[in-house]
Structure 1
Amino acid sequence: MRALISVSDKTGIVEFAKELVSLGVEIISTGGTFNALQNAGVEVIGISDVTGFPECLDGRVKTLHPAIHAGLLNIRDNEEHQKQMQELGLSNIDLVVVNLYPFKQTILKEGVKLEEAIENIDIGGPTMLRSAAKNNHDVTVVVDPTDYAVVLEELRANNKVSVDTNFYLATKVFEHTANYDTMIANYLREQRGDYSLPNTFTMTFEKVQDMRYGENPHQGAAFYKEVGKTKGTLADAVQLNGKELSYNNINDANGALELLREFSEPAVVAVKHANPCGVGVGNNVLEAYQKAYTADSVSIFGGIIVTNQIIDKATAEEMCKIFFEIVIAPGYEEEALEVFKLKKNLRVLKLENITYSDPHALTMKKVDGGLIVQQKDLELLIEEELKVVTERTPSEKEMEDLHFAWKLVKHVKSNGIALAKDGMSVGMGGGQTNRIWATTQAIDHGMEFLGEEGVKGSVLASDAFFPFDDCVKAAAAAGITAIIQPGGSIRDEDSIKACNEAGIAMVFTGMRHFKH
């Protein structure tokens, strides 16, 4: 039995090779792996001794040879194959242990140049892996060091690796090479500055963790990270306290972070079931938190709190007066962290670059039989295109509140309505099948927690146009003074007329923010 070993990740390879030799396996190797094995006292044959051809072109060509691939690809019970092998004086290779040039590690290095990345594209390795995996009935192929143990166990017990194990290992190979090739293709597209949606869409993700379950206990789930795209995301967060994150935790926290990134001033966003329930901005994180809490002191219970500020002790103490699942911030004062750690189950995450947003990010939704992909909604509005369509122009204060409300409604599920005043969310209505329901829901929300006076003088944002004037009339009855919406309905004039009659200022953005 002969094994060909050529690995970039040398974890456990010396010990594995020594065990193979003790079982009577002859070892062939190349380059750095050859040196590592020989220096460790493992009897090893150089690849050139098998091919009769020297490694050349700075090591670019060494295993791309018929002596290697015929040894891998010949079918052992095919008489014609065996006859040709004898005529050519070639021998079988029964075990391949290969993992590839560290392309991922290379492109993740700070300041890496294209030339260095290109040199770390493995050619011979994937070719050997694919040859061996294709012929898995006769050849064992190992790409993952964690599989060394099972291979040794079966060789010791049966002097061969089972067909089932070989098939399992071959499957892992094609997963590995697909992942490798996808990383290369996506990296090269980015180097060209090509961010269009291609005819074939391939991405690669690496498992971060298995989860106890998904949205519900009967659903299996796992969390995967996108290679090279984790800056400012939950995949890059460091957990400092509490239980592991669940499927729902991650989904909800992601939505909270997306809304948080709309703000440059000190801000706190509270989210429950992927919907923002309280948002506040202030001169500091404590003031922002107090506003977010006041906006909805019920829904925040058991929710997620995110902020773009370092949390101090006073804010931590205020937060810990209620129960919530997760807090995420770019940092914590030591005393604040000690306060949070008194709640052993509270998940405390530190996320540097918390306000970073990838300008080329995509959003994806799996549908049965396919995938829908779009560019991420990173726009808010275009100031030059704002159009006051009513007799009354919003005051400077109203305009400030309208901008704030527009940030909120962008992240409320459609049909979405958001009310805001004084740097605080007043009420939100989302996920309704008609806009008047969303409007009344937002007003009722505000009335419940802030009362009539809290809602009076607030402004309203709608994620899409008003098809009727009923929303304006409901807003007027609640004392709302200004509205921002995309405009574009064939019945815009009805809403404008209703605003003029009520003395409400209305601004059209020309841009909608559906969120489904």
Structure 2
Amino acid sequence: MSEKKNLKEIYRIMVDDPFPQSMEISFIENGERQTLFYEKAVWNIDGEVKGLRYGENPDQPAALYKLVNGNLVLGQVSIIQPGKYLASDIELLQSGKHPGKINITDVDSALNILKYFPDKTCCVIIKHNNPCGVAVASTAAEAYHKAYFADRVAAFGGAIAINTTLDKETAELITQSYSEVVVAPDYTEAALAILKTKKNLRIMRIENINRLIDFRDERFIEPRALIDGGIIMQWSFRSAVMSKEDFLPAETEYKGQKYAIKRKPTDKELDDMLFGWLVETGVTSNSVIYVKDGVTVGIGTGEQDRVGVAMIARDKAYTKMADRLCWEKYKTPWNMFDDERKKQEIWEEVKAENGGIKGSIMVSDAFFPFRDGVDVGIKEGITGVVQPGGSLRDFESIEACNEANVTMVFTGQRCFRH
């Protein structure tokens, strides 16, 4: 029998890093070489130089590299220029248990959503590279509060990213629960003092968050390693929809007959459609989300079938609203609340609002192959749908929406994220 391990300690260790200080990736075509140069990112913590704590798991060594030189042009696409750093060059104001690979990639996933909202105060809470909640609001505290209560349970131990200076009020809200990471372009002195009372919290500053709009249209290379050591390379995703005017009318032709959405979206619906689509680009596929008033209501991620993920997003919306109401009224999590009478009262309130889905926008990262997907949302009272379009049977979804007086737009673009 193997030696008994202290399982709690394996998550606190620093794994030896065998990776080199620098790295080069060269692309050669027709005898011409283009090379990207990278340097390992490290931090000076208590006089000791440290890189990543470990990779996805404690027994996987890992290293973080930042691009320091090289101008790559492939076809008509140019890579992001070196020196414009975000997640690869964070400033650690407090290291907590010291960041690992997941902490950095969670921050990066948050930034990939935040970059679409440079003119609004936005908060993104990420867990395992997926948003738990996203909200735009007039203040950082309000944005955090809405994002947190969109899914309070999933937000436990997550990474919080805010695109404005984090103030005292927001810090006080954040320290009321457990988080692994908080990142912002800057902090007030009072906010930093409050956050540092949480000794295991990793407090990160990335000043370039103030210039995220510069990164919105930039492209970079995304490598994916295969089991045999091979690599798939692709250019990073860029949304084709950046404004309400970029949406396409939901219309199609099937067996010689034309179909089109009858009701055009209102301005308010278009606001949520754009918000929802830009958030959806940062959700793992297959995915469906519901959004309302600039806040995520239900997020379904990583499923194999579209109708199934629409149901998961619906079910999560119900349970997350129940938990929020239970916490607000009785400071007890929904799954631990044992007063059956009061619990039933809460559930009736949730059902009356269809888990908050009533009046929301349903967003899908790929087309609906049949009407059963949009029917899930329609039964819960959605008023609009955003989807790429392009299914052979788009007419089914159009007919389903017209029957319910639900509006729909196409993006003309899929946003799978795996």
TM-score (normalised: structure 1): 0.61
Deviations along 1:152-171, one digit per CA (max 9) or x if unpaired, are xxxxxxxxxxxxxxxxxxxx
> Which residue does the alignment assign to 1:432?
303
Deviations along 1:147-200, one digit per CA (max 9) or x if unpaired, are xxxxxxxxxxxxxxxxxxxxxxxxx9xx98x85xx7xx89xx9xxxxxx99987
Tell me, yes or no, if the aligned pair for 2:41 and 2:89 is still in contact at 8 Å.
Answer: no
Q: Quick one: which amino acid aligns to residue 254 of structure 1?
A: D
Structure 1 residue 222: deviation in Å?
A: 1.7
Structure 1 residue 478: deviation in Å?
A: 0.9
Deviations along 1:29-63, one digit per CA (max 9) or x if unpaired, are xxxxxxxxxxxxxxxxxxxxxxxxxxxxxxxxxxx
Structure 1 residue 374: deviation in Å?
A: 2.0
Structure 1 residue 231: deviation in Å?
A: 2.2
1:463 aligned to 2:340? no
> Which residue does the alignment assign to 1:490?
392
Tell me, yes or no, if the aligned pair for 2:249 and 2:261 is still in contact at 8 Å.
Answer: no
What is the SS of the residue equivalent to 2:289?
Answer: strand
What is the SS of the residue equivalent to 1:211?
Answer: coil
Counterparts of 1:371 and 1:300, CA distance in 2: 33
Cα–Cα, structure 1 residues 346 and 334, in superposed 2: closer, same or farther, change >3 Å? Answer: same
Deviates more, 1:197-206 or 1:445-454: 197-206
> Matched residue pairs, number?
330
Cα–Cα, structure 1 residues 445 and 230, in superposed 2: closer, same or farther, change >3 Å? Answer: farther
> Which residue does the alignment assign to 2:36?
203
CA RMSD of aligned residues (A): 2.4
Deviations along 1:261-311, one digit per CA (max 9) or x if unpaired, are 111200000001111110000011111111101110111110000010101
What is the SS of the residue equivalent to 2:225?
Answer: strand
1:301 aligned to 2:193? no
Cα–Cα, structure 1 residues 407 and 416, in superposed 2: closer, same or farther, change >3 Å? Answer: same
> Which residue does the alignment assign to 1:391?
262
1:370 aligned to 2:272? no
Q: Quick one: which amino acid aligns to residue 231 of structure 2?
A: L
Cα–Cα, structure 1 residues 321 and 230, in superposed 2: closer, same or farther, change >3 Å? Answer: farther
Q: Quick one: which amino acid aligns to residue 104 of structure 2?
A: I
- Picking from 47, 55, 61, the partner of 1:220 is 61
What is the SS of the residue equivalent to 1:398?
Answer: helix
Structure 2 runs not aligned, ≥5 long: 1-19, 43-50, 70-81, 251-259, 322-349
Tell me, yes or no, if the aligned pair for 2:300 and 2:312 is still in contact at 8 Å.
Answer: yes
Cα–Cα, structure 1 residues 365 and 312, in superposed 2: closer, same or farther, change >3 Å? Answer: same
Structure 1 runs not aligned, ≥5 long: 1-171, 190-195
Q: Quick one: which amino acid aligns to residue 40 of structure 2?
A: K
- Picking from 465, 468, 474, the partner of 2:376 is 474
Counterparts of 1:280 and 1:444, CA distance in 2: 20
> Which residue does the alignment assign to 2:102?
248
Counterparts of 2:177 and 2:183, CA distance in 1: 16
Structure 1 residue 362: deviation in Å?
A: 2.3
Tell me, yes or no, if the aligned pair for 1:280 and 1:288 is still in contact at 8 Å.
Answer: yes
> Which residue does the alignment assign to 2:116?
262
1:238 aligned to 2:91? yes
Q: Quick one: which amino acid aligns to residue 227 of structure 1?
A: V
Cα–Cα, structure 1 residues 309 and 212, in superposed 2: closer, same or farther, change >3 Å? Answer: closer
Alignment of 1:102-141 (within 5 A): none
Structure 1 residue 430: deviation in Å?
A: 1.0
TM-score (normalised: structure 2): 0.74
Deviations along 1:403-436, one digit per CA (max 9) or x if unpaired, are 1110111111111111100010011111000101
Query: Which structure would you say has the larger RCO, counting Cα contacts within 8 Å and 6 or more residues apart?
Result: 2
What is the SS of the residue equivalent to 1:464?
Answer: coil
Q: Quick one: which amino acid aligns to residue 221 of structure 1?
A: A
Deviations along 1:5-39, one digit per CA (max 9) or x if unpaired, are xxxxxxxxxxxxxxxxxxxxxxxxxxxxxxxxxxx
Structure 1 residue 379: deviation in Å?
A: 2.1
Counterparts of 2:31 and 2:274, CA distance in 1: 35
Counterparts of 2:32 and 2:289, CA distance in 1: 38
What is the SS of the residue equivalent to 1:364?
Answer: strand
Greater radius of gyration (CA): 1
Structure 1 residue 201: deviation in Å?
A: 6.8
Deviations along 1:346-386, one digit per CA (max 9) or x if unpaired, are 11111011124172322222223322222221224163452
Identity of aligned residues (%): 42
What is the SS of the residue equivalent to 1:373?
Answer: strand
Tell me, yes or no, if the aligned pair for 1:421 and 1:457 is still in contact at 8 Å.
Answer: yes
Alignment of 1:440-451 (within 5 A): 440-450=311-321, 451=350
Counterparts of 1:217 and 1:307, CA distance in 2: 28
Cα–Cα, structure 1 residues 279 and 380, in superposed 2: closer, same or farther, change >3 Å? Answer: farther
- Picking from 123, 127, 150, the partner of 1:272 is 127
What is the SS of the residue equivalent to 1:279?
Answer: strand
Structure 1 residue 500: deviation in Å?
A: 0.9
- Picking from 180, 187, 196, the partner of 1:341 is 196
Counterparts of 2:262 and 2:284, CA distance in 1: 31
Q: Quick one: which amino acid aligns to residue 377 of structure 1?
A: F
Alignment of 1:26-425 (within 5 A): 179=24, 202-209=35-42, 210-228=51-69, 229-243=82-96, 244-264=98-118, 265-354=120-209, 355=212, 356-357=214-215, 359-367=218-226, 368-381=228-241, 383-384=245-246, 386-388=248-250, 389-425=260-296
Deviations along 1:82-119, one digit per CA (max 9) or x if unpaired, are xxxxxxxxxxxxxxxxxxxxxxxxxxxxxxxxxxxxxx
